[in-house]
A and B are shown apart, each in its own frame.
Chain A
């Protein structure tokens, strides 16, 4: 069970959280092309390495936040608030 460091509540067990998929996927305006809308809905990188992803502390403060997690190791490199840019963690592995 992952240990997830909620930016508001501190480290908590994974069962308190709901996964929210890849982060920094901007929702386009309603007049974009079909291709852009498809990309927004369905196209993801399936990153092997450090992935920016969303979590919600569903059974805690209720807040969404972002995390950088290495999908190879499950190691977290950063937890940060929604709306803030992806931190630079270098070539973390």
Chain B
């Protein structure tokens, strides 16, 4: 973790398995069950089960972060249901941004409202971080898991640092 502003740290996440699952309701339900979830998460919510975490990025789409390296169980659960399961582990790079100013820093790059009432813990969405497409997942009141396509990583990290540089001056979000 590197402190990029007073009380705010940024770190790159280690490599992890990432799968894009797309399909109709039956596919999402089958996937959820295989992960140990009662149901697929509602739109823009992330839910974790024994088999991993499902992030609902679209009405017909989950990003699945399996708890283990393989996903044979998921494949099996989906065998008879029309679906698309594509590995994108290396497509994305992840960051974790933590601290009291984390939401303020994101608000320097993204037009979403990061007030806890509007963007609660467990919410996830694709959006923009300035000119880069990004996924933002609030894992805690002051913690965000950010993913971008690999080639945008240096740019987004640079932008986060640049915003963090000036964040403590006369900025108090309501």
The reply, when asked whether chain A contacts chain B directly with Cβ atoms under 8 A, is yes
Contact residue among B43, B111, B128 (Cβ-Cβ distance under 8 Å from A9): B43
List the one stretch of B55-63, B83-91, B92-100, B139-147 in contact with chain A.
B55-63
Majority secondary structure, A binding face: loop
Complex: A30 Cα to B87 Cα, angstroms: 37
Report whether B111 and A15 are in contact in the complex, using a CB–CB cutoff of 8 Å: yes
Report whether A9 and B44 are in contact in the complex, using a CB–CB cutoff of 8 Å: yes
Chain B interface residue number, banded: 10 to 19
Chain A contacts of B125 at CB under 8 A? 9, 60
Please tell me if A62 contacts chain B, counting CB pairs below 8 Å.
yes
Please tell me if A16 contacts chain B, counting CB pairs below 8 Å.
yes
Chain B contacts of A59 at CB under 8 A? 126-128, 133
Please tell me if A26 contacts chain B, counting CB pairs below 8 Å.
no
Chain A contacts of B61 at CB under 8 A? 61-62
Complex: A10 Cα to B44 Cα, angstroms: 10
Question: Which positions in B face A, CB cutoff 8 Å?
Answer: 43-44, 57-59, 61, 111-112, 125-128, 133
8 other contacts beyond A60-B125, A61-B59, with CB at 8 A cut-off? Answer: A12-B111, A13-B112, A59-B128, A61-B43, A61-B57, A61-B58, A61-B126, A62-B58
Question: Which positions in A face B, CB cutoff 8 Å?
Answer: 1, 8-10, 12-13, 15-16, 59-63
